[in-house]
Each structure stands twice: as structure tokens, then as C-alpha cells.
Amino acid sequence: MRKIPVTMATQHPDNASPSPFTGKCHVSNADEIDECFQCFSELGVDEYMWDWEGKFVDEAVIDRLYQNYYEYFKKNQLGKDKFLTFRVPNIWEEPSHRLPRAFMNLISAEHAANTFKLHSPPIFEIILPMATKAEQLKYLQARFKEIAHATEDIFDMQSKMKHIDVIPLFEEVETMASADKILEEYLEFLKSEYHYKPEYMRVFIARSDPAMNAGLIPCMLAVKSALCSYHQFGQKHNIEIYPWIGGGSLPFRGGINPDNITEAVEEYAGAGSMTIQSAFRCDYPMEDVKKSIDYINQEVPKKRKNFILLSEEEKKQVHDFNEEAKQYFQHTIESIAPLINKIADKLPGHRERMQHIGIFGYARGIGEVKLPRAIKFTGSLYSIGVPPELIGTGRALKLAQEQGQLQLVEKLYLNIKRDLKNAGHYLNPENLDLLCEESDAWKEIREEIKIIEDFLGQKLGPTKHHHFLHRNFSSNIFRLMQQNEDISEDVLKAAKVRKSLG
């Protein structure tokens, strides 16, 4: 069987510090070619995500990699030893004109590899973000087949690929709960239309957007339930399942960083791959980054079958609990959204993104709330000293206690206390008291922080020098905002202290 990549470098712009390869925080399209090569050659990652979703891309990526670094890729063949994987646009969420270009790129990359006498095809997998239905996966498969046929007819460019591997990226708590049914339907499609049963399947589980839409605890419970369901699906059909955890550095977005790497690998036992986002690579010493990537590459495969087994009753308990618990988070975020958006506008953008409308939106009788993408959402709340990990969590813990579900929560979320303590060090109680004078939503947050403190058996707040430094920056940010003055400098300084933009 082919090599399954364990570590994937992504283009998520969550870094607060400059790239060690360019010396710049902002990574341009031109820089991404070299970044891809450096992630392979210097950091030792197996795979690099070439991201077409919501951002501009260099469509000549394969030609540039082969021409600029031919000797390296001659020894480390793309599609065999190292992997470049496209995250394609979700045409049900953004304009569709870029998807055909991505598909054409797959076919032209195959022919470029042949020209250079390298392994072919070099790219054969695509990631579909925000996947919600089997119909979407089937549609992409069918469209690729049509484009491949048309390319052969028009340009006499025949593709060896009879199909591509479509990797669904599930980004909503609700979708995760039923994703095994989506996989069932898609598998039947592959069998009937292509007479093909895959030997393995990769399934991408998001950590940022589920947390942003439901809160920390519902997100983590959904991830663990999903890991179990995906592996059970694989066992049922005799297919090897390689779940993929896409997480950032801060606990709210995944807690995958060099300082927390042993805990993160243990937390996500059952996964086959993990993402290495920009903050992981840029905000920690290079020696620690390389050691952590090597640790993931060595240890994650050993734990792929060590997922937490849940009964159908326990899965139902998780689903029912999440349906109720997520409402606490959503209600509060809906109330404080204007402040989040105001701060987000001051956080720097470190990639050449296209204009994007936040996916957080739900009817509450007064229209829909729109928020920034997850990195800036997280960074906004950290910037004023109220980490999003603490929002909705106290009430979720109280609900778990009342329903007798706390033991299940702690069984599934192994590092819940560690994560809450780590996030809690960046709480600025003074800012929160001032915010409570402006809105009852902040008072709810203050009350549930007391519940979290009872759960942890300790007060939240800064304890070390860098925590106090972050508190000072968050106080500056809050007071400058009150005076309508520029906060961008202090926002970036605070991000560097916590080693992630958001």
C-alpha cells in the first residue's frame, strides 16, 4: 500500500512571528513555493496542503517545484515519498469558476511529472472543505471524470487517473455526528459507478470551525465520537481508515504545538495524520519544531487504532448533550459579535486571502451573525483577555454535572483540565469586569469562569512572566479601543507572547 502521510504543513495564517525561511510574517504566493520545499526538506513533513479555498494560489506549483528543486524531488518523489494535496474550493459556499482550474491542474501536473521523468501522478487527492453531503463528493468525482475525458479529447492529454481520492473535511459538529452515513453513501457510489472499493480512506476532521460554531467541549466530544464512528465504518467494510486532525496551536483550535505535543498526540489517538500550521512552524524554536514533527511522524501511526470506543448509547448521549451545550456558546457569541469583528479588523492577514464571509451564521429571529474566520475570531478574544475556551464551557460543565455526563466528558476529553488551565492563564479579569459593565453577556462569561475554577480547583489568570506581559498588552488593547485609538501594534505583541495569532 502507498505511504500515508502523517504530518501535513498547511497555509493557515495563524503565525504571530516571521517565517524562519523568509524572515517575514506575511507569506506571499511566490513565497509559498519555497515554503513548501522547506517544509519537506528542512522540517521533515510528509505532506503540504496547496490551498485553493478562499485564497489565491500559484497554479504553476508543480512546474516551479520540479524546475527549482529537481534534484530533491528526484530523490523524494511527489505522490510517492512526499505529497502535495489540493484543498479545492467548496462550490456550494463560494464561486465555482476556480474548481475546474484545480482539476485541470491535477491533470497537467501528471503530464509535467512524465515530462520530468518523475513519479506520476504527483497529485491524486483533493480535500473538500465544509463537506456536508455525499452528493458533494459524488459530484466532484463525476466532474473530474468529465474534465479528464474532455482534456484527452481536446488536448490529447490522457490521464491514468480513472478517479481521484476525495477527502471530505467535516467542519460542523452536526455533520460529524452523521458523517459515517455520508461515507456509506459515497462508498456505494464508488462501487456502483467505478466498480471500485478503496483499500483505505482518509477523512479530515476540523478542530477550529466546530469549536467556533459550538464551543470547546461540544467540539471535542464530537471529534472523539467521530473518530470512533469512522474506524467502525472502516472495520465494517474492511477499509483502513486514516482520520486527519486539522488543528492550530491554541487549545480552542486544537492545541497542536511543540510545547504540547505529547499531550496532543495522546489526545487525538485514533488519528492517522495531523496538521502543522503556520504558528507551529514560526512561533517556536526551530529545534523544537523539528523534534515535534519527528515525534508526530513516529508516534501517531502507533496510536491510530487506539481510538476511544463508544457504544451507540454513548454516541447518542454525546449528540444530545452537544445539542444543548452548544447553545450556551452560540447565544453568548451572538451577543458579543460586534466587538469580535471590531478587533478582528486589526489583526494582520498573513496570506493572500480572497474576501470571505464567515461561516458562522444561524437564525435567531433577528437575522444572522457573521464573524471572521476562526484564526481572527480566536485572536480577537485572546487580545482582550477573554479566551474563547472559557465561553460556554462553564455552563457546559454545569450541564454535564446535572445530567450525570461529567464522567463521559472527562473520558473523551483527556486534557480538558490542562487545556482550560493553559487558556485561563491569558484571562484578564480586570478587562472582563469592565466588559461586564457594558453587557449581560459578559456577566454570563464571568459567572461560568467561576464554575470552571471550581472544576479545576484553582483560580484562572496569569501566573508566569509571559502571562502577565500578555495581560498588560490586553489591558492596553482594551483601553486604546475605548479611546478609538490604533490597537494593531499591541495586538501583534500579545500574539507573539502566546505564540499564535489565533
Mean pLDDT over each residue of the chain, to the nearest integer: 93
**pLDDT the model gives residue 377:** 96
For residue 354, give the C-alpha cell.
480572497
Q: Is the pLDDT of residue 93 over 90?
A: no
**According to the 3-state scheme, what is the secondary structure of 272-285?**
CEEEECHHHHHCCC
| Rounded Cα distance, 255 and 418, in Å | 10
Half-sphere exposure of 385 (CA within 13 A, CB side): 27
In the chain, pLDDT over 70 holds for what percent of residues? Answer: 96
Closest of 382, 384, 400 to residue 392, by C-alpha: 400
For residue 432, give the C-alpha cell.
472582563
| Rounded Cα distance, 385 and 470, in Å | 8
**pLDDT the model gives residue 359:** 37
Closest of 353, 343, 306, 301 to residue 435, by C-alpha: 343
> Do 207 and 246 touch, CB atoms closer than 8 A?
yes
For residue 87, give the C-alpha cell.
484543498
Count of positions (residues) in the chain? 502
Angle, helices 440-456 vs 393-403, to 10°: value is 60
**pLDDT the model gives residue 366:** 25
Residues forming beta bridges with residue 204, ordered by sequence position: 169, 244
| Rounded Cα distance, 131 and 170, in Å | 5
Amino acid at the residue 251: P
Question: pLDDT: is 384 or 356 the higher one?
Answer: 384
Give the residue-averaged pLDDT of 229-238.
97
Burial 142-179 (b: 16+ CB within 10 A, else e): eebbebbeebeeeeebebebebbebbbbbbbbbbbbeb
150, 151, 152, 158 alpha-carbon torsion, rounded to 10°:
-130
| Rounded Cα distance, 131 and 125, in Å | 15
Give the residue-averaged pLDDT of 225-234.
97
Q: How confident is the model at residue 358 (pLDDT cuts 50, 70, 90)?
A: very low
Give the residue-averaged pLDDT of 143-167.
86
What is residue 294's three-state secondary structure? helix
**pLDDT the model gives residue 353:** 62
For residue 183, give the C-alpha cell.
461515507
Q: Is the pLDDT of residue 365 over 60?
A: no
Q: How confident is the model at residue 354 (pLDDT cuts 50, 70, 90)?
A: low
pTM: 0.94
Return phi, psi of residue 280, to 5°. -55, -45
Query: From the centroid of its chain, how far is CA 158?
Result: 35
pLDDT tens-place string over residues 3-21: 999 999 999 999 999 999 8
pLDDT tens-place string over residues 298-318: 999 999 999 999 999 999 999
Q: Is the pLDDT of residue 31 over 70?
A: yes
Q: Give first-to-last CA distance, the chain, whole Å.
A: 37
Indicate the DSSP class of residue 51.
E
Helix (H) or strand (E) holding 230: helix 216-237
Q: Is the pLDDT of residue 37 over 90?
A: yes
| Rounded Cα distance, 291 and 91, in Å | 38
**pLDDT the model gives residue 363:** 30
**pLDDT the model gives residue 361:** 33
Q: How confident is the model at residue 55 (pLDDT cuts 50, 70, 90)?
A: confident
Q: Is the pLDDT of residue 152 over 90?
A: no
Closest of 277, 305, 332, 323 to residue 172, by C-alpha: 323
Give the residue-averaged pLDDT of 173-181.
91
For residue 418, give the C-alpha cell.
490542562
Q: Is the pLDDT of residue 352 over 90?
A: no
**pLDDT the model gives residue 24:** 87
For residue 104, give the C-alpha cell.
485541470
> Do 374 and 382 touch, CB atoms closer than 8 A?
no
Give the residue-averaged pLDDT of 399-421.
97
Q: Is the pLDDT of residue 62 over 60?
A: yes
Residue with cell 471590531: 342
For residue 140, give the C-alpha cell.
466532484
User: Does 121 sit behind a cis peptide bond, omega within 30 degrees of 0 on the bond before it?
Assistant: yes
Number of other residues whose CB lies within 10 A of the CB of residue 433: 12
Closest of 246, 243, 252, 298 to residue 277, by C-alpha: 246
Closest of 273, 272, 277, 227 to residue 257, by C-alpha: 277
Q: Is the pLDDT of residue 364 over 70?
A: no
Q: Is the pLDDT of residue 460 over 50?
A: yes
Give the residue-averaged pLDDT of 280-295.
98
Half-sphere exposure of 183 (CA within 13 A, CB side): 31
Sign of the four-CA dihedral 307, 313, 314, 319: positive
Q: Give, in degrees to the nearest 5, the angle at Cα 402 between 400 and 403.
A: 65
Residues forming beta bridges with residue 276, ordered by sequence position: 9
In the chain, pLDDT over 90 holds for what percent of residues? Answer: 84
417, 475, 501, 254 alpha-carbon torsion, rounded to 10°:
10
